[in-house]
Amino acid sequence: MTQDMFLTMTDLRELGWTQGMVTKLLGRADVLKPNPVYRSQAPMRLYSSSRVNVVMESPEFLELKAKRLKRSLSAITVANRRANELIEKAQNLAIGVTVLPEDEVRAKAITSYNEWQDYKFEISERWHDDPPAGASEGDSPEFLQRITVNYIRHQLTHYDNFLSRQHGKPGAEEARAIIRGRVFDAIAEAYPQLRDECHRQFHRR
């Protein structure tokens, strides 16, 4: 309840009202006040708390509130069902990994890493700096394994762009985590020499 015994729309929502319920049961606001933040915007609509309390005890309000709750519960049920379906798909999705000779895949990873570094350097417009040194066969085994796993994950795994189509859907984050783990497991199986790096990257994420 606000000062002067008047309620804003925010107050009403906290009490279970929707805009449609306000329009249907309360009608016009009791008081209009200038917007305290943006004076050029529409005025604030304030509703008498005593009038609101009377309406909230009416059968019409209780019926509309019950219907709203039922719709909310139904929406939650549907969202949970869809999330479970998406998670099940993620658990059963076929994940393929292209297998190349160890030297070849490492060489491709080095090339890909260097191309990406060059691209980032170019778009940063840091023409006055020296270009990045890049990767080479002489780098540490840990670094080469890291960029090789990254290359395989982005270029040599296949799961039909499943994740890109699930953005924003119920269960998408859980499905993403499941598929990420399954992708690392698939890479570790296809490239046993990279198993430890796959496990390290998965747990780091």
Burial 38-62 (b: 16+ CB within 10 A, else e): eeeeeebbbbbbeebeebeeeeebe
* Alpha-helical regions (H) of 29-171: 49-56, 59-92, 102-123, 141-155
Q: pTM for the full model?
A: 0.62
What span, in angstroms and rounded, lies between the C-alpha atoms of 151 and 140? Answer: 17
Residue pLDDT tens, the chain, 205 long: 445 589 999 999 999 899 999 999 999 999 998 877 777 778 889 999 999 999 999 999 999 999 988 988 899 999 999 999 999 989 998 899 999 999 999 999 999 999 988 887 777 665 556 666 788 999 999 999 999 999 999 999 987 677 777 777 888 889 888 998 999 999 999 999 999 999 999 988 7
What span, in angstroms and rounded, lies between the C-alpha atoms of 149 and 160? Answer: 19
